[in-house]
Chain A
Amino acid sequence: MRTKTTALPSEDKRWRIVMATMRKHGFAPDALIETLHSAQEAFGYLDDVALRYAADSLGIPISRVYGVATFYNLFTLKPQGEHTCVVCLGTACYIKGGPQILSALEQATGIKRGETTPDKQVSLVVARCLGTCGLAPACVFDGDVAGKIEPSQAVARIKEWETT
């Protein structure tokens, strides 16, 4: 177990959460994925500072940290929008109209899947399968799963964000 700890990158209190995760795992190199999860949860995305901090604290090369962060779909190196809309394109949703929902949302927001609107309000994300196939087609609006949804309803939900 490593005892020497790297100084926090800044005064930001959120780094302490990331630190606590690493400490819980004894700063072992295999805690990398847990650490990245924790950093992304705290900051919304993983920037260079976060990747370097993880590398230094866990004693692994920055190249490996970058490799892991870019390998897994859930990690993002770009800041996300204020709101996130996830469109499920799993098999059941695909067959029941998921693609139509996605194109309606792309048209309404003017961005493509995986992108964030220029005003940083809305991110449009595509999911492989939410596992709520019984409610296909499904979307997630800021963590709320909405099932059996029509393209027009999905667009309406996004419009609600714009007005608030």
Chain B
Amino acid sequence: MNTDELHELATAAKEAQTAFDHRIIVCSGTGCQSLQSEQVYESIEGELKSRGIGHRCSVVHGGCRGLCEAGPLVSVEPDHLLYQGVKTDDAPELVDSLDAAPVERLTLDVSIPFFSRQKKIVLEHNGMIDPESIESYMATGGYSTLVRILAELTPAQVIEQLTKSGLRGRGGAGYSTGLKWNTVAKAVANHRYVVCNGDEGDPGAFMDRSVMEDVPHQLIEGMLIAAYAVGADAGYLYVRAEYPLAVKRLRRAIRQAEKHGLLGHDICGTRFSFKLDIRLGAGAFVCGEETALIASIEGRRGTPRPRPPYPAAHGIWGYPTLINNVETFANIVPVLREGGEWFSTIGTERSKGTKVFALTGSVSHTGLIEVPMGITLREIVYEIGGLPPGKRFKAVQTGGPSGGCIPAEHLDIPVDYESLAQVGSFMGSGGMIVIDESACMVDVAKFFMEFCMSESCGKCIPCRVGTAEMYHLLDKITLGEATLDDLAMLEDLADVVKHSSLCGLGQGSPNPVVSTLRYFRSEYLAHIVDKTCPAGVCTIHQEVGV
């Protein structure tokens, strides 16, 4: 594959698309599929066929448009129409409308803030690509960045661009991606690995699933550029087994890329070779931690080990290993295509680019959003999401089980790594759950503690025993059986677990408790002193006759 060949393939694919007067794109993400989008696809296909207009109108699969709750979503191009809640019975009316006025009752207004306030870089293809077709990706310029880099840039120049961009890891901790790549590239070894961490285990987060399902090739191209930059010749995509559709599409994408000579030996006629394999998780949250993930790839129990040495120096089978999260790799192609300088103009002083969030909970518009760093939480919650009528905002939870709950008084902070940490939360991988007045914050803290307790791998005592003890204390509080001494013990334990656990799972596990104690202490006290749950969630057994 060289530039000319790729250009030829891309042009052919583009021409094939524009040969149709209308292209109907049916979302095939997990959300829409569970709302029968496949049946909708088939009924539209049948309708086109029976009318004999298949030669000028086509129906294809597309990726996620973000607003999963309004699915199944169907777009019509080049008319820029988006229909929501499409049923199989709507197919005739939809096909009728192709050369006439749009179907008004199904039209989704794309000028609402949910769409207009977003800025798409990672999700730049916006569901317009057929996830199962490499040609569809090539038609939009896919793989041209890789081909150009291989022909024009040295690995050091690639890393220089990345460092200039200011991109930071999107897995949560926010380590500089350029620095990490540089460390792996400089490690002395004759063999290096590149690993994509697709073990998205945070409850309430599904950004990475969407990227893997919708644009598998964008991810693979990003990994290829990484492998070229750090000098790796083999890599793994570690995907949680709970995402069967993502696994299926990634497998297919790897086969397609191999067939086109974009994976394998002597890629694009250069001496660069890269072999990519998929490894399945098996339901262990801790495997998102990088040393546990390496253990799992090596076929062992996913238990973390102390760092240093970091995987960048000592990773899979002891070789230097670059581990980045899905969203980080998905950023690579746009960054290298447009240049580091361009990327560094987006976002805030220290957090560049955009962040994809899974906005869920008590909001009118739930789904996937990509926003520039520096946007305020208030804009996300009230404008993009919008509170449902009659609901009152209480807190927004970010960062999953290692994150915290942010109350209304801090809604005006900009979304970036440092600001979120300052108010006691955490960027995390991108789950953002809006909590309204009907939820009990002690119950929420207990929910996350139960999660950490069950998911603790058991290797280090502070996490194994500490999370269990904290859970029991929280349970006592929600049952109305705790004393103020128990509360003091809970705070004490939170401190111990945070500072003495081996890995991020344990270290982060007290965060939901600490942050709810910081902002919603009165709710804890109501359970302990007044024996009532202000939100009416917890069942407190009142002692009779006291």
Known: A31-B299, A72-B283. A131 touches B200 (CB 8 A): yes
Q: Does any Cβ of B come within 8 Å of A30's Cβ?
A: yes
Q: Please name the residue on chain A nearest to B30 by beta carbon.
A: A132
Q: Please name the residue on chain B nearest to A91 by beta carbon.
A: B204
Which residues of A are found within 8 Å of B243, using beta-carbon distances?
131
Of the listed stretches B90-98, B335-343, B358-366, chain A binds: B358-366
Is there an interface contact between A132 and B282, defined as CB atoms closer than 8 Å? no
Of the listed stretches B31-39, B157-165, B258-266, B497-505, chain A binds: B31-39
Is there an interface contact between A73 and B284, defined as CB atoms closer than 8 Å? yes
Which residues of B are found within 8 Å of A131, using beta-carbon distances?
30, 200, 205-206, 209, 242-243
A117 to B298, CA, bound (A): 36
Residues 39-64 of chain A, each 1 if its beta carbon lies under 8 Å from chain B, else 0: 00000000000000000000000001
Residues 250-293 of chain B, each 1 if its beta carbon lies under 8 Å from chain A, else 0: 00000000000000000000000000000111111100000000
Is there an interface contact between A68 and B285, defined as CB atoms closer than 8 Å? no
Which residues of A are found within 8 Å of B34, using beta-carbon distances?
132, 135, 138, 144-147
Is there an interface contact between B203 and A135, defined as CB atoms closer than 8 Å? no
| Nearest CB of A to B442, in Å | 14
Which residues of B are found within 8 Å of A29, using beta-carbon distances?
299
Q: Which of chain A's residues 107-164 have a Cβ closer than 8 Å to chain B?
A: 127-136, 138, 144-148
| Nearest CB of B to A63, in Å | 11
Is there an interface contact between B433 and A91, defined as CB atoms closer than 8 Å? yes
Is there an interface contact between B282 and A74, defined as CB atoms closer than 8 Å? yes
Is there an interface contact between B31 and A147, defined as CB atoms closer than 8 Å? yes
From A73, A75, A145, give the contact of B30 (CB < 8 A): A145
Is there an interface contact between B203 and A129, defined as CB atoms closer than 8 Å? yes
Is there an interface contact between A71 and B301, defined as CB atoms closer than 8 Å? yes
Is there an interface contact between B30 and A128, defined as CB atoms closer than 8 Å? no
A32 to B300, CA, bound (A): 8
Is there an interface contact between A90 and B203, defined as CB atoms closer than 8 Å? yes
Which residues of B are found within 8 Å of A94, using beta-carbon distances?
203, 447
From B68, B71, B203, give the contact of A91 (CB < 8 A): B203
Q: Does any Cβ of B come within 8 Å of A36's Cβ?
A: yes
Q: Does any Cβ of A come within 8 Å of B462's Cβ?
A: no
A36 to B297, CA, bound (A): 14
Q: Does any Cβ of A come within 8 Å of B506's Cβ?
A: no
Q: Please name the residue on chain A nearest to B287 by beta carbon.
A: A72
Tier of interface size on chain A:
35 or more
A131 to B212, CA, bound (A): 13
Is there an interface contact between A72 and B302, defined as CB atoms closer than 8 Å? yes
A96 to B439, CA, bound (A): 10
Q: Does any Cβ of B come within 8 Å of A92's Cβ?
A: yes
Q: Which of chain A's residues 65-91 have a Cβ closer than 8 Å to chain B?
A: 67-68, 71-75, 89-91
Is there an interface contact between A73 and B283, defined as CB atoms closer than 8 Å? yes
A71 to B69, CA, bound (A): 34
Which residues of B are found within 8 Å of A17, using beta-carbon distances?
none
From A75, A89, A95, A130, give the contact of B439 (CB < 8 A): A95
A28 to B67, CA, bound (A): 43
From A75, A129, A132, give the contact of B68 (CB < 8 A): A132
From B204, B281, B302, B455, give the contact of A92 (CB < 8 A): B204
Is there an interface contact between B241 and A92, defined as CB atoms closer than 8 Å? no
Is there an interface contact between A32 and B299, defined as CB atoms closer than 8 Å? yes
Q: Which of chain A's residues 22-36 have a Cβ closer than 8 Å to chain B?
A: 28-34, 36
Q: Please name the residue on chain A nearest to B70 by beta carbon.
A: A134
Q: Please name the residue on chain A nearest to B243 by beta carbon.
A: A131
Q: Please name the residue on chain B nearest to A128 by beta carbon.
A: B203
From B205, B297, B457, give the contact of A129 (CB < 8 A): B205
Q: Does any Cβ of B come within 8 Å of A16's Cβ?
A: no
Is there an interface contact between A147 and B35, defined as CB atoms closer than 8 Å? yes
Best-buried of A71, A90, A129, A131 by chain B (most CB within 10 Å): A131
B residues adjacent to A (C-beta < 8 A): 30-31, 33-35, 67-69, 71, 200-206, 209, 241-243, 279-285, 296-302, 358, 360-362, 366-368, 397, 400, 431, 433, 435, 439, 444, 447-448, 451, 455, 457
Extra A-B contacts (9), CB below 8 Å, given A91-B447, A92-B361, A95-B444? A37-B241, A72-B302, A91-B448, A92-B360, A95-B362, A128-B455, A133-B366, A145-B30, A148-B69
Chain A to chain B contacts (Cβ below 8 Å), 12 pairs: A34-B279, A37-B280, A92-B360, A94-B203, A128-B455, A129-B204, A130-B242, A131-B205, A131-B206, A134-B366, A135-B35, A146-B34
